[in-house]
Amino acid sequence: MRPSMTHLSDPPRRVLVIGATGKTGSRAVRALDRRGIRVRAASRRSPLPAERFDWHDDRTWQPALHDVDAVYVTYQPDLAVPGAADAVGALAEIAAREGVTRLVLLSGRGEPAAAAAEAALLAEAPGATVLRCSWFDQNFSEGALRGAVEAGALALPAPPDRREPFLDADDIAECVVAALTDPSCRGEVVELTGPESLTMTQVCGLLAEAAGRPVTYAPRGRDEFARDLAEAGMPAPEAAFLAGLFAEVLDGRNSATTDGVARLLGRPGRSFAAWAHDAALAGTWRAPGRAPA
């Protein structure tokens, strides 16, 4: 087990964070800043040419990669979409030409299409590190399921007893820093999970306790879940894609916990209960009976 990352063993000079406004990207930026590492925070809408990165416009890739020696790669919308593997491989090839020596890819645990993207990356950058993750705690606070928690009714394409080791995105960010700064991580594929595997019923119970409201669970079929997302305002093609992806990764394949977080950080991941408690204290969910602002 590695010691806590109090001291950086091999800090990069400057890190490009792709998707710097996303759940893990924004946290990685802050984690790197706290350690005094220079960051180029890139996003699709950045007005600065060197900080603009769009997966659908490869003209933005080389300027963003110029004069950095490390990159944290997140792909939008998901590595499971067609063309993702080709794009990730092309990015790694350009990165190598630009002198980038460290790459960390956020990948999807249990997603065959994501594995293809990992292979494309490692073919161009054998020393890269892949961090495989599945469900984040923050799916319930910053994503489409926040409203479901507030409404007191969670519905997903999985049975109530399906287990998932939900993972705190803050722990992911710390693992990103570890992977970027610890040479022993290079060339590894590390699966990250939370410390315990919870059923959907247990998750609802912990959310209810933290948020101070009943939160019930109702399993939905894949097509039903797609309709739920579309009725909530999501474009139909995106809703169908997400419903299929959720049904795939919530089929039990990811139920087991791993020691990935402990290996990288020297401590276990944060529990879902602790995360939910702090999220509620921060005012994440509206108080019961209170109308939206």
Q: How does pLDDT run across 191-249, given as a tens digit for each residue?
A: 999 999 999 999 999 999 999 999 999 999 999 999 988 998 889 999 999 899 999 99
* Sign of the four-CA dihedral 46, 49, 53, 58: positive
**Extents of the domains making up the chain:** 14-133
> 7: pLDDT confidence band, cut at 50, 70 and 90?
very low
- CATH superfamily, with its number, for domain 14-133: NAD(P)-binding Rossmann-like Domain (3.40.50.720)
Q: How does pLDDT run across 166-198, given as a tens digit for each residue?
A: 999 999 999 999 999 999 999 999 999 999 999
3-state secondary structure of 277: helix
Per-residue pLDDT at 4 exceeds 80 = no
User: Tell me, what's the pLDDT at 143?
Assistant: 79
pTM: 0.93
Per-residue pLDDT at 10 exceeds 90 = no
User: Tell me, what's the pLDDT at 290?
Assistant: 55
Supply the mean pLDDT for the chain.
93
Of 282, 274, 222, 278, nearest to 248 (Cα)? 222
Per-residue pLDDT at 1 exceeds 80 = no
The residues near 113 (Cβ < 8 Å, ≥ 6 apart) are 79, 80, 81, 84, 85
116 CB-contact burial (10 Å; exposed 0-12 / middle 13-18 / buried 19+):
middle
